[in-house]
Amino acid sequence: MIRAEKLGRRFGDYVAVEDVNVDIAKGEVFGVLGPNGAGKTTTLRLLTGLVAPTSGRAEVAGISVIDEPERVRTKVGILTETPGLYARLDAIENLRFYADVYGVNDPLPKIQHYLERFGLWSRRHEPVGAFSKGMRQKLAIARAVLHDPEVVFLDEPTSALDPESSRIVRDLVEELRAAGRTIVLCTHNLDEAERLCDRIGVLKRTLLHVDTPKALRRKLYGHLVEIDTLGTVPDAVLEALRALEGVREVTARGEGCVASIADPRTDTPRLVSLLVERGVPILRVAEQARSLEDVYLDLLREGGRP
Ligand SMILES: Nc1ncnc2c1ncn2[C@@H]1O[C@H](COP(=O)(O)OP(=O)(O)OP(=O)(O)O)[C@@H](O)[C@H]1O
Ligand SMILES: [Mg+2]
């Protein structure tokens, strides 16, 4: 549904984005993570035909962003960082205006649906200029999906929203995905990325890594297994555990230990067998999840090379 090849954009001498290669399938939710200034918004603008690439190429729904940027924009819904709404028009008028531009048939029921959903229905006749930041953002999200586009680009959709509204947006993303829509989501919220996205691309001028949230966490850093035992694990046993195949590191921790291993399916049973052999009573064995945030920060610190 979205394909980019060596996509890049310079601003004068400054290279904001370079060599982005990605293939996003129909129905996929693709997250873009990256620090401030990493080029997330620029990449979104490139993929929606809002800014022209200075290198490479990209297609959305089979349409080239270079040759037919206007046609790309009719196929997509976009929430930009600074959604331009008409301050003097009210909420309904704003959405009606966009519904007309996109040729939405019978837009009023849809407009009512989204305004109710985002808790804006009672404020529908007020000029949007008097709306709070979060209210404007919700209206802009409604606008992005009103014409039921095949591909939806959301640039930090929940950044200004309270927890309840964020939840409504996340539910909307799930719903769009269930309906087979393709979604690209820039976010700084790692928890959100992990919950919503099928794959995550870590972007810092270029895509450093693309993987499922789970694989991203695991591929780079292996697995941690926590073992609680009755009494402390003797040093000689810790040494023997460290010598096992697939085990990278074992550290004692209170009554028990934490082992860093390559593959839990083969290595955890080895750890357990050895402890049993040495007569150390096991109370609990659990795989310890590393948060995506840990991995992400390490990744950026290391310049993306694991
Ligand atoms: N129109 C422009 N003219 C000049 N430089 C630009 C322009 N747009 C973006 N840049 C530069 O490109 C880089 C990437 O910006 P971009 O907005 O894509 O980052 P981002 O990843 O979205 O950051 P944030 O998390 O802060 O939103 C920045 O250094 C920015 O200053
Ligand atoms: Mg941005």
Reported as a pLDDT band with limits 50, 70 and 90, residue 11 is: very high
Reported as type and span, the H/E element at residue 183 is: strand 182-186
| Number of residues assigned to the chain | 306
Residue 185 CB neighbours (<10 A): 28
What's the CATH code of the domain at 206? 3.40.50.300
Q: Is 90 exceeded by the pLDDT of residue 298? A: no
Q: What is the pLDDT of residues 19-66, one digit of tens each?
A: 999 999 999 999 999 889 999 999 999 999 999 999 999 999 999 999
Residue to probe by mutation, ligand 1, list 7, 10, 17, 42, most atoms within 8 Å of CB: 42
Residue 291 Cα, ligand 2 centroid: separation in angstroms? 23
Residue 252 and residue 175 in one domain: no
> 288: exposed, middle or buried (C-beta count within 10 Å: 0-12, 13-18, 19+)?
exposed
Q: Which atom of ligand 1 is nearest to the CA of 34?
A: 21
Give the pLDDT score at 303.
59
Q: Cα-atom radius of gyration of the chain, to the nearest Å?
A: 24
Q: Is 70 exceeded by the pLDDT of residue 257? A: yes
Residue 65 and residue 207 in one domain: yes
Which residues does a 6 A CB cutoff place in the pocket of ligand 1? 11, 14, 16, 34, 36-42
Give the pLDDT score at 82.
81
Residue 296 lies in a domain: no
Residue 131 and residue 93 in one domain: yes
Looking at the 3D structure of the chain, how many domains does it have? Answer: 2
Domain that holds residue 249: 222-289
CA atoms within 13 A on the CB side of 104: 23
Residue 301 lies in a domain: no
What's the CATH code of the domain at 278? 3.30.70.100
263-285: b or e for each residue (b if 16 or more CB lie within 10 Å)?
Answer: ebeebbebbeebbeeeebeeeeb
Residue 66 lies in a domain: yes
Q: What is the pLDDT of residues 205-256, one digit of tens each?
A: 999 889 998 877 665 556 889 999 999 999 999 999 999 998 888 999 999 9
Q: Which of 132, 104, 105 is nearest to 119 (CA)?
A: 132
Q: Which ligand is nearest to the CA of 39?
A: 1
Q: Is 70 exceeded by the pLDDT of residue 131? A: yes
Higher pLDDT, 264 or 257: 257
> pTM of the prediction?
0.80
Residue 205 CB neighbours (<10 A): 19
